[in-house]
Amino acid sequence: MTASSLRGSEEPLQSAFDAALVDLDGVAYRGPHAIPTAPPALEAARARGMRVVFVTNNASREPGTVADHLSSLGIPTDESEVMTAAQAAGALMLESVPVGSTVLVVGGAGLRTAVAEAGFVLVDSADDLPDAVVQGFSPDVSWRDLAEASYAVAAGARFFASNKDLTIPNERGTAPGNGSLVNVVVTATGVVPPGAGKPEPAMFRLAAAKAGAERPLVVGDRLDTDLKGARAAGYPGLQVLTGVDGVREAILAPPEHRPSFLGHDLGALALAHPEPVLDGDVWRVGAARVHVVDGRLEVLARDGGADGLDTARAACAAAWHATDAGAPIKVEGVGDVEVPSAHE
């Protein structure tokens, strides 16, 4: 029998790992409200000794503001438990821009504070001939801000981005993210900036260091940022189904986007996770059994297991094994898998 790249844990994840690096949007909250299972799940994890650091690509808010917001939602948080893309951007800039250099900041208060705390001098215009430009998301970024950044980058300023998420989820749906706004400056200048936030591994490593973690676990809802970043950093990742991506996306994920664990929500931290194993040409998890025939997933036996996801786990294992062997799953071939809704 062969093990899958979807891992198993005989003990609850909150015991197997010493820190959770937790995304915000779609994991801890959605829009203005906490995901109902998040506060008790995080309280239980902390009670078992698991440290928590919230890792967000939002660069507009300061860590203290993020902590206050989480606390107001029933998730008591100290600002030392928050790692923002703005802080990661400051660390990234220090690798190539000397302390004391001038920087034009396009973004919110959180980015301005992080850049100043990194030792840079803030300027407000391309006419100041800044040494660098750093861009982060803020709903208040205007055409004038983007034009000012374009003028400075075209004049030779180094260009950095806090993150390159093309979209962001909110209570009304999907909206343009920082990556979309960064692309306006890229279009105007032809200069593509490096990104500091997820899925870059540095942000997760900084968060793990902040937690003093030796066995960190990344928790996120987006495969292309949270889980890709986890793999890039060399950390296991738990995909929860309360946000952007679901089981179908996990089944079809390329290797660099795949989670190590699958759970409905943050309550998955309190559970043991069964490991898929290959038995002949069939992947099984508990009583669930799935195999691949001609690019299609076939469910031979359904079994949700303790949390209802064992069939989904077996389907992921079967699909990934087939894809990695050179026989990728057809998109329409996922239709035989029952995809459960996330519990709330």
The yes-or-no answer on residue 245 being catalytic is no
d(C-alpha 262, C-alpha 290), whole Å: 16
Tokens matching residue 193: 């900036």
> Under a CB-based contact definition with an 8 Å cutoff, are residues 165 and 174 in contact?
no
Q: Find the catalytic residue in 18, 23, 128, 221.
A: 23
The yes-or-no answer on residue 25 being catalytic is yes
DSSP letters, 36-61, are TTHHHHHHHHHHTT-EEEEEE---SS
* DSSP-assigned beta bridge partners for residue 293: 296
d(C-alpha 157, C-alpha 144), whole Å: 17
Tokens matching residue 160: 């950095």
Picking from 193, 114, 185, the residue whose alpha carbon sits closest to that of residue 154 is: 185
d(C-alpha 239, C-alpha 219), whole Å: 6
Residue 99 DSSP code = T
Q: Find the catalytic residue in 25, 145, 224, 310.
A: 25
For tokens 């992080």, what's the residue? Answer: 114
Query: Residues 6 or more apart from 258 whose CB is under 8 A from it?
Result: 5, 6, 223, 227, 231, 250, 316, 320
Q: Which residues are catalytic?
A: 23, 25
